[in-house]
Amino acid sequence: MPYLAFVKAVSFPNQGMVCDQNLDELRRVYNRKFPDKLDLLQDFLSFALSVLEVVRTPALDLEVEAKMRDISDRPILRTAIAANVDTIITGDKDFLESGIEHPRIVTASEFVREWKENERPL
């Protein structure tokens, strides 16, 4: 399901975005846990970043961030709000259980299900 969600998120009329903090975290994790697979990460990022817009994390906190239990997720929410995204697609329970209404926060499965339900034949 994550692959289908990714494909839909980066397909017209949608524009997929990723927070620079997410990319930094991904690189840190790979350097620490999978140093022998850094070439695979680079291949993945080369592909992903050809279809995703990288959005910089704003420095100033927002009041709504207090709804996030995990403080390390707050900059990601801040970036999404600053970029005016409609939907955050995630499996992170802290996002999913935050009660935040905008942007909408859904799992990959929910995103794909909604897309299929609203799809119209040509």
Domain ranges of the chain: 2-118
pLDDT > 90: percent of the chain = 78
Condensed to tens digits (0 to 9), the pLDDT of residues 21-46 reads: 999 999 999 999 999 999 999 999 99
pLDDT (0 to 100) of residue 2: 84
pLDDT tens for each residue of 58-116 = 998 899 999 999 999 999 999 999 999 999 999 999 999 999 999 999 999 999 998 88
Characterize the bridge pairing of strands 104-106 and 87-89. parallel
Instruction: Look at residue 47 and tell me whether its pLDDT is greater than 60.
Output: yes
**Distance from C-alpha of 30 to C-alpha of 104, rounded to nearest angstrom:** 29
pLDDT at residue 30, as a whole number = 96
Question: Tokens 């799809």 appear where?
Answer: 119
Q: What is the CATH code of the structural domain delimited by 2-118?
A: 3.40.50
Stated pTM of the model: 0.84
